[in-house]
Amino acid sequence: MHLIQKQLIDLIATNPNFGKLSLRSIAKEVGAEGKPQTAKYHLQELEKAGFIQMNLKEGIIKLVKKGTNISSKSPIFSIPVVGSANCGLPTIFAEQNIENFLKVSSSMLPKKKSGLFALIADGDSMNMCNINGKSIESGDFVLVDSEDRVYKDKDIVVAVVDGLATIKELHRDLKNNRIVLKALSTKKYLPIYLGEDDDFIINGKVVGIIKS
């Protein structure tokens, strides 16, 4: 992403009245004083990529929230892609910076669309799981509900272990006071055992797969 576009996203996020500014004022804010068309160009690029909603005539410039319509009349939803998650050993960092937006028809999404984000699966340790009849294969877009914090045994979750992301089936081992993350694969993978003193969080529940 261009540096000016990153600056624009930061400014939009912190200024609720950003859309009321003139293009000349916006250009000055991003170090392009006297170049309003430069500001307009980069705003249009952010809009094309699905990062913002914009209506300059009405003074509206705002960030697209997780799992929201691109426009009020559109059946297409814009889902933020926040990086990759390993489906083998947890060896890829779970970046929380939005890399892009996945534009998906509402008919392909769960009924609850708020709080959704997407990860790109990397690995084959979940190629035997079943999410609405689909398995997770390397390169697939994995839809995650970040707001669902009620986890049951055998839920497919995104876990961040020591700062690294992985997608696994969750099990609670109450006898030993630990969580076990299991692979569901045609290959053999050892479980990941997590105790209360370990550095991990569950980032959300997998609710859908968009095949690559």
125 is catalytic: yes
Q: Are residues 80 and 156 in the same domain?
A: yes
Instruction: Report how far residue 104's alpha carbon sits from residue 106's, in angstroms, rounded to the nearest whole number.
Output: 6
The CATH number of whichever domain residue 55 belongs to comes to: 1.10.10
**Which entry of 125, 135, 185, 205 is annotated as an active-site residue?**
125
Q: Are residues 93 and 107 in the same domain?
A: yes
Predicted confidence at residue 71, as pLDDT, reads: 47
Q: Are residues 35 and 114 in the same domain?
A: no
Q: Are residues 52 and 85 in the same domain?
A: no
Domain membership of residue 20 as a residue range:
3-63
Among 41, 63, 85, give the residue marking a domain's end: 63
DSSP string, 161-190: ETTEEEEEEEEEETTTTEEEEE--SSS---
Q: Are residues 73 and 58 in the same domain?
A: no
| Residues of the chain below pLDDT 70 | 1, 65-74, 89-99
**Which entry of 113, 168, 185, 205 is annotated as an active-site residue?**
168
Predicted confidence at residue 137, as pLDDT, reads: 94
Predicted confidence at residue 206, as pLDDT, reads: 94
Q: Are residues 184 and 85 in the same domain?
A: yes
Q: Are residues 33 and 89 in the same domain?
A: no
Q: Are residues 35 and 94 in the same domain?
A: no
Q: Are residues 22 and 93 in the same domain?
A: no
Q: Are residues 99 and 147 in the same domain?
A: yes
Q: Are residues 145 and 162 in the same domain?
A: yes
DSSP state of 128: T
Among 48, 63, 78, give the residue marking a domain's end: 63
Q: Are residues 112 and 153 in the same domain?
A: yes
71: left (phi over 0), alpha (psi -120 to 50) or beta: beta
Predicted confidence at residue 139, as pLDDT, reads: 92
Q: How many domains does the chain have?
A: 2
Among 43, 63, 83, give the residue marking a domain's end: 63
* 121-169 pLDDT tens trace: 989 999 999 999 999 999 999 999 888 878 899 999 999 888 788 999 9
146 is catalytic: no
- What are the structure tokens assigned to 166, written together? 């992985």
Predicted TM-score (pTM) of this structure: 0.65
The CATH number of whichever domain residue 108 belongs to comes to: 2.10.109.10
Instruction: Report how far residue 116's alpha carbon sits from residue 28's, in angstroms, rounded to the nearest whole number.
Output: 34
Instruction: Report how far residue 10's alpha carbon sits from residue 15's, in angstroms, rounded to the nearest whole number.
Output: 9
Predicted confidence at residue 110, as pLDDT, reads: 82
Q: Are 166 and 86 in contact (CB under 8 A)?
A: yes
Predicted confidence at residue 66, as pLDDT, reads: 53
Predicted confidence at residue 70, as pLDDT, reads: 45
Q: Each residue of 58-90: b (16+ CB within 10 Å) or e?
A: eeebeebebbbbbeeeeeebbbbbbbbbbbbeb
